[in-house]
Structures are given as C-alpha cells and as structure tokens.
Amino acid sequence: MTFIRRTVLAMGAAALLTPVAASAQDSIKIGEINHYKRMAAFAEPYKLGIELALEEINAEGGVLGKPLEFVFRDDQGDPAEAIKIAEELMTREGTVMITGSILSNVGLALSSHAAEKGYLYLAAEPLADSLVWASGNPNTFRLRASTWIQAAMLAEEAAKTDAVKYATIAPNYAYGQDAVAAFKENLTRLKPEVEFVAEQWPALFNIDAGAEAQAIERAKPDAIFNVTFGTDLAKFVREGGDRGLFDGRQVYGLLTGEPEYLDPLGDEVPEGWFVTGYPWYGFDEGTPEKVFVDAYMEATGETPKIGSLVGYLTAYSIAGAIEKAGATDTASLIAGFEGLEIPDTPIGTLAYREIDNQSTMGAYVGTLALEDGKGVMVDWTYKGPDGYMPTDEEIKAMRPAE
C-alpha cells in the first residue's frame, strides 16, 4: 500500500496516538533510547512521529505478522546511562535492536557498544559523521542526513558570495567538530582563497554568548558559520543581534531553520541567514510532504518538527528492514538494512547505502525571514545527498577495515 493511502487511513484514527499494546511473545520490540527530558523540544515530536508510523504499520498487520512495538527509555543525555539502558533492553526487555539518540556523543557510545555486544543500532538523529565513517562498524546504520552533506550545501551557497574571511562557532563535541571540518573542507575546495580567521568552541549548552560574539567581532570576518542549536543558539542570536555582529555579514546556520530551534527565537529571528531546516508550512497540497504534515497534525494536534519526520522515518526504516530480513536476529537485521529501499516516504524513496550504512535522506535549505512575528524559511528547496558526498574511494578509506 502506498504512503499516501496508509496516511489517509491513519488520519481517520483517534487524535491521541496509542501504540498497540502487546506482550513480549506476540510483538516485535524495538529499544528506543533518547534524551526526553534534556532535549524535549526534539525528542517529544520525534516520539509522536514514531507513534504515527506505528499506528499505520500495525493497522496494516505489523511486521512478519506481529505488531511492532517501541520501548521508550530516557538516558538524560548521558552516554554511560544510555549503555546501561541498552543492556537492559536487549537482555531483559526482549528488544531485537536499539535506535534513537540525538546527541552525537551518546550515539557514538551506543554504536561502539552495539559492535562490541553484537546487536544492531540505528542512529536515528546523531549527526557526527564519524558514526558511519571514521568510527563506523557493520552494526551501526544512520538515518539523519549527514553533517557532511548539510555543511556542503551551506558551503556551496557561501562560495557564491564575495566573502573571504570566515569565523566559525560550534559546540565543542563530535557533531560540532565534524560540522566545522566539513564546512571548511568543502568551502576551501570551492573557493581556495578563503581564510578562517576565528574558531569559537563553546561548551554544549553552556555558552557564554557575549564573550563568543565579542571574540568573533574582533576577528572582523566577512561571514560566519554557525553550528549552535537549542538554548545556545537563542543566546548567541540575542547577544549577536544586540551587538550588531550580524549586520552586513552573511551567516550560514546548520539546523537553524528547524522548527525545534527556530520557533523559540520568536521575533528575534535573524533574517537573511542561509540555513538547513524543515519548512513544513510551505509544502504544496497533494504532495507526500503535505500529506504527512496533515496526518501528523490531525493525529497530534501539533505542528510537525524535523524530529516528527525523523521519528516517522525511523519506524518505517525498521519495519522495512525486518520485513526484508524475514527474521529479527542481528545478522538478519544487518542484511535487512544493507541496501534497504523504502519507496513513497514523505521525502521520496529512502535507501541505506551499503558502502557506509548511511541513509539517503537529504536536507531542506533556504533563507530565514520573519513573518507575522515568527521565523520561517523562504526560497527553500530540498536537496538529496548526490553531488555532496565524498567519493566512494574516500569513504572506503575513512571506514575501519571490517
């Protein structure tokens, strides 16, 4: 059955999502570990996206003739706690695999543990490219569009301008480090004369935004690459705006256009930034993107976030892999994910590359504007990963030998 048909059926379901109740012996359980308290703005919509998908999947008969069930656990954003929970889910709860995590340091810990203990981990959201490249392993797959391709899309736009001197600001952990490295490499390749005159590395969720803005201003860059998100982003936007840091400078923002991070900015949205995000409000009627938005709003009473889409695609990825595998042991699940193709999703066909276990999910890019006191993306477009990824030879060289 097509995505649109499935979704139309789901829109007739109750407004409050209630996953199918099932006992251990008559359901296929998936362990979902995330930062539900620490990063609720992303994690809660993500969970609702999973639950919408489960409504549809289980209404169609589940997978391998059984209901699909997610067991949700909160790790407080702590890698050690996430590993402890993964052990409990796999040994006591009867889950067949693990998914989830927003923070890359947690995702990397779960990935390493999955390889060590011999289970499968689908990194739904973590963005550090080391997950599938430098630290990649056969047991880890990643759904979310890679940091590399999103940074490459922003670098492509930056290369079109006259800006030569750049400053960067990013949280000082795996995702931020990967993002800055990817932007620098891609922009330098496109425009060899660029200079990076300042690099600021605030601690995650502990930014001294005034000091960071001052340091960037002292370097007198022509443009800024911003990787901060959440409360760090809000503080940086406020301090930078008050100090005129963004006046006359183009800013490129990774994730800044995602509703989770854009909506809290209110009327302080920095207009003119070129960003990656999720313009759910701009989809045309009748498109798969709009059908998903309508179904989600009908089911939850809320507007979707990028987390909503990621959660939805997570559940369908897992269901598709299990159906392809025909079994739920780890070896079969790995084979199920390798080369998996899921047609008719809200973003078109979603596939998992055999070369690095990375999905083909792309990203929306566009410019920030203020409309009716709220931030939106305008002049946006959806871009797939083709043309933005490293070559296959480069990827093979990055991944550890298997």
So where are the chain's domains?
3-146+284-351, 148-282+363-398
CA 358 to chain centre: 12
Average pLDDT, the chain: 94
158 or 5, which is more confident: 158
Q: Hey, what are 273's tokens? A: 């930034």
Residue 155 to residue 151: CA distance in whole angstroms: 6
Strand order in the sheet with 363-371: 195-200, 165-169, 223-226, 250-257, 274-277, 363-371, 374-383
* pLDDT above 90: residue 371: yes
pLDDT at 96 over 70: yes
Going along 240-304, which residue ranges are E strands?
A: 250-257, 274-277
pLDDT value of position 6: 52
Domain 3-146+284-351 grouped into CATH 3.40.50.2300? yes
Model confidence band, residue 147 (pLDDT cutoffs 50, 70, 90): very high
Question: What's residue 1's pLDDT?
Answer: 41
Per-residue confidence band for 8, with pLDDT thresholds at 50, 70 and 90: very low
The pLDDT > 70 percentage for the chain reads 94
| Residue linked to tokens 């997610």 | 70
Chain centroid to Cα 40, Å, comes to 15
- The CA distance from 100 to 142, in Å, is 10
Q: Any bridge partners for residue 264, and if so which?
A: none
Model confidence at 76: pLDDT above 80: yes
Compare 290 and 24 and report the one with higher pLDDT: 290
258 pLDDT band (50/70/90 cuts)? very high
Q: How many CB atoms lie within 10 A of CB 93?
A: 13
Mean pLDDT of 335-361: 98
**How many Å is the maximal CA-CA distance in the chain?**
63
Does residue 22 surpass a pLDDT of 50? no
pLDDT of residue 239: 98
Q: What is the average pLDDT across 276-287?
A: 98
Residue 10, pLDDT score: 45
| CA 316 – CA 288 distance, rounded (Å) | 15
Question: For residues 32 and 85, is the Cβ–Cβ distance under 8 A?
Answer: no
Residues with Cβ within 8 Å of residue 321, at least 6 apart in sequence: 333, 336, 337, 340
Is the pLDDT at 4 greater than 50, yes or no? no
Q: What's the confidence (pLDDT) of residue 20?
A: 38
* For helices 40-59 and 3-11, angle between their N-to-C axes, nearest 10 degrees: 100
Report the share of the chain in percent with pLDDT over 90: 93
Residues β-bridged to residue 251: 224
3-state helix, strand, coil in the chain (%, to 5): 45, 20, 35
Examine the pLDDT at 11 and tell me if it is beyond 90: no
Domain 148-282+363-398 = CATH 3.40.50.2300: yes
Rounded to an integer, the average pLDDT of 209-234 is 98
pLDDT-based confidence at residue 251 (cuts at 50, 70, 90): very high
Can you tell me the distance from the alpha carbon of 378 to that of 125, in angstroms, rounded to the nearest whole number?
Answer: 24
Q: How far apart are CA 358 and CA 335, in angstroms?
A: 14
**What are the phi and psi torsion angles at 106 (to 5°)?**
-70, -45
Quick one: average pLDDT of 313-335?
Answer: 98
Measuring CA to CA, which residue among 61, 62, 58, 101 is closest to residue 83?
101
In whole angstroms, what is the distance from residue 328 CA to residue 331 CA?
8
C-alpha distances in Å from residue 130, one per residue of 100, 232, 341: 16, 23, 23
Residue recorded with tokens 């990063």: 39
pLDDT (0 to 100) of residue 401:
83
Determine the average pLDDT of the residues in 11-17.
40
Consecutive H or E run containing 87: helix 79-91
Residues 6+ apart with CB under 8 A from 308: 45, 46, 48, 49, 52, 296
Report the length, in residues, of the chain: 402
Structure confidence at residue 235 as a pLDDT band (50, 70, 90): very high
pLDDT band at 25 (very low <50, low <70, confident <90, very high): low
What would the mean pLDDT of 274-284 be, rounded to a whole number?
A: 98
Give the DSSP per-residue string, 314-354: HHHHHHHHHHHHSS-SHHHHHHHHTT-EEEEEBTEEEEB-T
CB burial of residue 22 (10 Å; 0-12, 13-18, 19+): middle
